[in-house]
Amino acid sequence: MLRILSALSCLLLCFPQGHAFAPAAKSRNVVLVTLDGVRWQEMFGGADPAVMKFLARGAPVEGTSLYRRYWAPTTEERRAKIMPFLWGTLLTQHAWIAGDPAKASHVESSNRFHTSYPGYAEILTGRAHDGVIVDNTKQRVPVPTVLEFVRRELRLPKSAVAVFASWDRFNDIVEHEPDAIVVNAGFAPYASNDAALRELSTAQAEMVAWPDERFDYPTQRFALDYLRREHPRLLYIGLGDTDDYAHDKKYELMLESLHRADRFLAALWTQLQAMSSYRDNTVLIVTTDHGRGNMAEYWDTHNEELTSARNIWLAVAAPGDVRRGELEGGPTLYQHQIAATIAQAFGLDFDRAYPGAGKPIPLPAGAP
């Protein structure tokens, strides 16, 4: 009590008049998380009854493990079964989400292809590159990304901007200039003093489901360890299990991956809140690279022809932003606005540096 009193009186007396309650100029951080190819249908509605019926092929859906695990009568209950942290904590206490058509809220990608590399390039460079990036073919991203931009503009050490991603292609997507930032993607080893993480780094290459993509678990563990040790100002975590299981037509495993991604978000948020340099001082953005088919029989697919795959979603937790839960109405938000939004959080003007890039989504001004 005494300590509180003296702290209070110091607040009143120790600072020159007018500055007593001015917030300290804190460094501000951004954490970006992408969940590859997660449809808005599952994000806002949980297990999709139309897909469940389609997959049951005439048999009663009530007999399936999918039904027992993830079914509930309302969309709100179903989505909370898959993402309890997102819906029960993050969106009730800290964040908003856009992209639910039922709430007249829309988020769209603007590239023609509705596939991964075109989507990630749009997220990270603030515009579509339809003439250059037409599919997932390995090629270096043709222009600098916002990750490189932030490092350069703030004159940060390389370790302050880091990417952890499951898909090997991220090595080419996230930086125009090789070695500009820290990238650990695909089956890249992760160096650590922690024996368990060293073991995981070795083991990841022994547990392979897809040739160019590791499971999300090592990606998540490495990213959390890096966050704890290196305190990056800008951290990007690209998860991929959801898209791989969807292409494999494994609906239940796709939902379970989304459930595990929610557990990761909980661990990430808890860790951010436990570190004074991040608590109340960090913008968290969670989104996806593309949607998928809207009809039940196309739930697993996305391509240029399936225009419904351009519909995506976007969640943001920003200090000082009082909006919570689902946004209703409002202008359509675009994937190409994310780069400038990240830069804006650092007080930087990305769309001025790169004319043609999308404008930032307005967020309350925090201490840059």
Name the DSSP class of 359. Answer: P
Q: Which of residues 47-66 bind Zn ion (CB under 5 A)?
A: none
Our CB check for Zn ion shows the closer of 214 and 233 to be 214
Our CB check for Zn ion shows the closer of 36 and 48 to be 36
Stretch that binds Zn ion, among 35-43, 106-114, 210-218, 339-347 (CB under 5 A): 35-43
| Other C-beta atoms lying within 10 Å of the C-beta of residue 222 | 24
By the rule CB under 5 A, 37 interacts with Zn ion = yes
Our CB check for Zn ion shows the closer of 170 and 190 to be 170
DSSP assignments along 301-327, one per residue? ---SS-GGGGEE-EEEE-TT----EE-
Contact status, residue 46 vs residue 72, Cβ threshold 8 Å: yes
DSSP assignments along 228-297, one per residue? HHH--SEEEEEE-HHHHHHHTT-HHHHHHHHHHHHHHHHHHHHHHHHSTTTTTSEEEEEE-S----SSGG
Contact status, residue 348 vs residue 33, Cβ threshold 8 Å: no
Stretch that binds Zn ion, among 31-39, 60-68, 138-146, 275-283 (CB under 5 A): 31-39
Stretch that binds Zn ion, among 36-44, 87-95, 185-193, 215-223 (CB under 5 A): 36-44
How far apart are the C-alpha atoms of 341 and 42, rounded to whole Å? 25
Binders of Zn ion: how many residues, by CB under 5 A?
2
Long-range contacts of 55-64 (CB under 8 A, 24+ apart): 55/251
- When CB distances to Zn ion are compared, the closest residue is 243
Our CB check for Zn ion shows the closer of 226 and 245 to be 245
Q: How far is the CB of 297 from Zn ion (least distance, A)?
A: 17
Our CB check for Zn ion shows the closer of 108 and 230 to be 108
Burial class of 243 by CB neighbour count within 10 A (0 to 12, 13 to 18, 19+): buried
By the rule CB under 5 A, 243 interacts with Zn ion = yes
Tokens 């839960």 locate to 325
Stretch that binds Zn ion, among 17-25, 77-85, 213-221, 242-250 (CB under 5 A): 242-250
Our CB check for Zn ion shows the closer of 48 and 243 to be 243
Stretch that binds Zn ion, among 37-45, 78-86, 270-278, 328-336 (CB under 5 A): 37-45
Which residue type, as a one-letter code, is found at position 333?
L
* Structure token digits, residue 273: 């809140």
Q: How far is the CB of 115 from Zn ion (least distance, A)?
A: 6
Our CB check for Zn ion shows the closer of 135 and 328 to be 135
By the rule CB under 5 A, 240 interacts with Zn ion = no
How far apart are the C-alpha atoms of 316 and 337, rounded to whole Å? 13
By the rule CB under 5 A, 289 interacts with Zn ion = no
By the rule CB under 5 A, 238 interacts with Zn ion = no
Residues engaged in binding Zn ion (CB under 5 A): 37, 243
